Amino acid sequence: MKNISEKLGTTGTTIATVITIVTGVFACWQIYKNASQKNVAGAWKLKFTNLTSSYKPYIGETHVQNVSFSQNGCEITGDGEKCEYNGIALPSTQHRIIEYKGSIEDDCIKAIYKLYGRDRISSGNIEVMISDDGKTLTGNFLGTAGNTAGTVTGERID
């Protein structure tokens, strides 16, 4: 009987040691991941260029958004407005509200957006890479307005 209790004691100690080591490795990984994560919080200017669309007049058009991103760990949200269309600044009465919600994984932002247009709400998603210096973005988008798809570039403006 004594040998069984001694073996259980040794087994319990071994299990506790393994759990402690695994927990420590996981904690170190989380600290490293959070420290190496890009920070996109702040003001950005995003330029969308339509490369394809089911509505042919949209092809080649551009629009610019001023967006303020907030970040909580890997999660991001953004609020802004469409402020320029085909290189021409829009009057403030024609600005359209836009909202973002997404996440950052490594150097990539993946987010969905809602654009509150004059006649309807459109939506879509973006997938953009964050530059090494954290000052620019480049990637692609898909949108429901005219089934558009194209490129997104961004620059930090704060």
25-53, pLDDT tens digit by residue?
A: 555 444 444 445 899 999 999 999 999 99
Residues in a beta bridge with 151: 49, 140
Alpha carbons 36 and 73: distance in angstroms, whole number: 11
Which candidate, 112, 115, 120, 55, places its Cα nearest to that of 82?
115
Q: Is the pLDDT of residue 144 over 60?
A: yes
Residue of 35 and 93 predicted with greater confidence: 93
Identify residue 28 by its one-letter amino acid code.
C
What are the helix and strand counts (H, E) for the chain? Answer: 1, 9
Query: pTM for the whole thing?
Result: 0.77
**What does the pLDDT look like over 101-113, one tens digit per residue?**
999 999 999 999 9
According to the model, what pLDDT value does residue 7 have? Answer: 59
Q: State the average pLDDT for the chain.
A: 88
Residue of 59 and 20 predicted with greater confidence: 59
Residues in a beta bridge with 46: 65, 154
C-alpha torsion 37→79→143→63, nearest 10: -100
- Cβ(44)–Cβ(111) below 8 Å: no
Neighbours of 83 (CB within 10 A): 19
